[in-house]
Structure 1
Amino acid sequence: MKSKTIRRWSFIHTWTSLICTAFLLMLALTGLPLIFHHEIDHLLGDAPQVKQLPAGTPTLDLQQLVLAAQAHRPGEVMQYFGWDDDEPNAVLTIMAPTADTEPNSSHTFMLDARTGEAIDVPSANGGIMMVMLRLHVDMFAGLPGKLLLAFMGILFVLAIISGSVLYLPFMRRHDFATVRTDKSRRLRWLDLHNLIGVVTLTWALVVGVTGVISASADLIIAAWRAETLSAMIEPYRDAPPLTHLAPASDLLHIAAKAAPDMQPDFIAFPGTRFSSEHHYSVFMKGNTHLTSHLLTPVLIDASNLEVTAVAGRPWYMDAMGMSQPLHFGDYGGMPMKVLWAALDLLTIVVLGSGLYLWWVRRRAAKESAR
């Protein structure tokens, strides 16, 4: 590789790394507990506790759960119902003063599906894990924070690619994984920095790319609303406002007939950003571990419960759905979480050693200039 090309790649690697390192250290440190958020919630006592009832206790229908939720938080409106495979007897419930209230201002709790009893979810309403999540997702800055982190993720991907290009000439002169222990401390750390960077290369690219996609979620959802959802609700463009909502009791049965061989993931009530002013949106997911993150919306007229549309998924919504669990290692149970945590720690070492190497080189250049 020509020296001019090397200098160009070195410049890209140095400055992309320096600009994004502080943000990446924050993301790596906050991401580590988020990998084990279920386990930490249980350890801190923040996990919702569902009562033990006799097997076969019947569950309430959805309209009864709606009434129970409204009794728990009078004056607020329903936004979402959601289901978790790990807790089949509970329904995740999100309410807010208005249907279009932004997510960070909504209130999340669970309803016992058999009794309608409300169960607090501290970790979703300001607990320590929510603080970690907000720092990791948007730094408490909303959309500007997300876009800033997306930009930092792009710089991170460029730093990985440029670092790989720079490591190729070194590998031609030395055996793979060579660490020159007989050289100076700076060279030893340089070799370790390069070695760990290569070992974590694929993982870092996956986490970097999925992080950029996840940080762009608001833009992706806005595009979906402007294209797919807008086309689905076109016949209702000039429809008068709803004066009443049909009971939600049969929504799951109706959606199951419209999307067979799928199961419900969540329901968006009328007026929320995943629905329209005139529809219940039931998002159905696949039955396999892979397709369980790919959602198909079934739009149901909220006045008469007729199915008005079953939409295909645009590729960018599939990319978002696959990226978010992959980003946190949620695909393979505890072994994958442990692997993700180990690679996260190694990435922290890479970031820290990169700062050290830049500082040492900068100090040496100053001394040489004197």
Structure 2
Amino acid sequence: MHPQKVVRYIFWDDDEPNQVMMDVAPSMTAPPDSSKYVVLDERTGEILSRPVLNKGFMYIMLQLHTDMFAGIGGKLFLGLMGILFIIAIISGVMLYGPIMKKYDFGMIRSDKSRRLKWLDMHNLLGIVALAWTLVVGVTGVINTLHDVVLGLWQQGQLAEMVAPYKNAKPVTGKLSSLDEALKVSHNAAPEMKASLITFPGTIFSSKHHYAVFMKGQTPVTSRLLKPALVDAKTGVLTDLRTMPWYVNTLFLSQPLHFGDYGGMPLKIIWALFDIATIVILISGLYLWIARIKASKAQLARLEEKQTELA
């Protein structure tokens, strides 16, 4: 399938029943962009496809959106921009309230200057999209902390779960049955199902365990994962815990930010709000530039009058 490579992760997708995806890479610690992917029919083991997920237009757009190809530094920079975005929204609402006491809601002064028409459009779109922009802004900031949250989980809960193996040598040779790891994990959490398996030596496990990440079957719990650690030599379940609150907060923020929990209709709604937000941002920039020009023109007129009076 991929000679000289190792399987690191196995994924299941509810939208693709009876299929399983494998992440294979040169080593367990290889960078994410070195991964290759293989989709199998989990009933027959037949290879269905070899999707390329780390190339192409959508991959570039996703990376620009998440970290601008700058790693954790890019994510934290975008997080800072997200905080400024939230501040801009809140300050805009504070300015909008007193102004609209004088006018009807949704008013567009089409008979006035271009700047006033853009101002009214900016205010209208901003207040209509207020809840959405706040949700996307806040969840976007949370998502930029992905690497920080992962590090906290690794150093906190995961370290506690694998503490008994701290001084043990990494597993070598033949590993225990993967089917058995799935079975014992499901027996420990019968109301849940497997979403992801990570192999020993990956960043989501230890050098001694399979980590079977279980998820619930309701709209909310299907977004929350519970790691079950299974000894990769003996096949014995060694620990199963609910993720800390900060990890669950990250898990819940992801579908809210990307709008991927309601199928295509919700994605279309998210896209329309995206377009509205782009208009808000462009109009805000236009109004800012127009205000600077107007201020300079007014200052020039005042200076001209002072010169005439002198």
Q: TM-score range by the shorter chain?
A: over 0.9
Q: SS of 1:283's equivalent?
A: strand
Q: 1:1-370 to 2 correspondence within 5 Å?
A: 72-113=1-42, 114-117=44-47, 119-122=49-52, 124-244=53-173, 245-370=175-300
CA distance in 2: counterparts of 1:92 and 1:277, whole angstroms: 22
Count of aligned residue pairs for this structure pair: 298
Query: One-letter code of the match for 1:289?
Result: P
Residues 259, 298 of structure 1: 8 Å contact kept: no
Gap runs ≥5 in structure 2: 301-310
Deviation string 1:295-347 (CA, Å, 9 cap, x unpaired) is 00000011101100001111111111111111111122222112111111100
Give the structure, 1 or 2, with the largest relative contact order (CA under 8 Å, sep 6 or more).
1
Gap runs ≥5 in structure 1: 1-71
Q: SS of 1:249's equivalent?
A: helix
* TM-score between the two structures when normalised by the length of structure 1: 0.78
CA distance in 2: counterparts of 1:205 and 1:191, whole angstroms: 20
Matching residue of 1:42: none
Residues 299, 309 of structure 1: 8 Å contact kept: yes
Q: Choose 1 or 2 for highest CA Rg.
A: 2
Query: One-letter code of the match for 2:220?
Result: L
| Deviation, structure 1 residue 349 | 0.5
RMSD over aligned Cα atoms: 1.3
Q: SS of 1:242's equivalent?
A: coil
Residues 286, 292 of structure 1: 8 Å contact kept: yes
CA distance in 2: counterparts of 1:308 and 1:145, whole angstroms: 37
Matching residue of 2:306: none
Query: One-letter code of the match for 2:207?
Result: E
CA distance in 1: counterparts of 2:54 and 2:48, whole angstroms: 14
CA distance in 2: counterparts of 1:237 and 1:85, whole angstroms: 35
Query: One-letter code of the match for 1:312?
Result: T
Query: One-letter code of the match for 2:273?
Result: L
CA distance in 1: counterparts of 2:37 and 2:56, whole angstroms: 12
| Deviation, structure 1 residue 118 | 5.4
Residues 186, 360 of structure 1: 8 Å contact kept: yes
Deviation string 1:224-246 (CA, Å, 9 cap, x unpaired) is 11111011011011112212222
Residues 93, 108 of structure 1: 8 Å contact kept: yes
Query: One-letter code of the match for 2:239?
Result: A
Matching residue of 2:304: none
Query: One-letter code of the match for 1:74?
Result: P
CA distance in 2: counterparts of 1:330 and 1:317, whole angstroms: 19
CA distance in 2: counterparts of 1:310 and 1:225, whole angstroms: 15
* TM-score between the two structures when normalised by the length of structure 2: 0.93
Query: One-letter code of the match for 1:232?
Result: M
Matching residue of 1:10: none
Matching residue of 1:19: none
Deviation string 1:82-122 (CA, Å, 9 cap, x unpaired) is 00111122211111111122323322231232233251113
CA distance in 2: counterparts of 1:325 and 1:163, whole angstroms: 26
Query: One-letter code of the match for 1:356?
Result: Y
Query: One-letter code of the match for 2:81?
Result: M
Identity within the alignment, %:
50
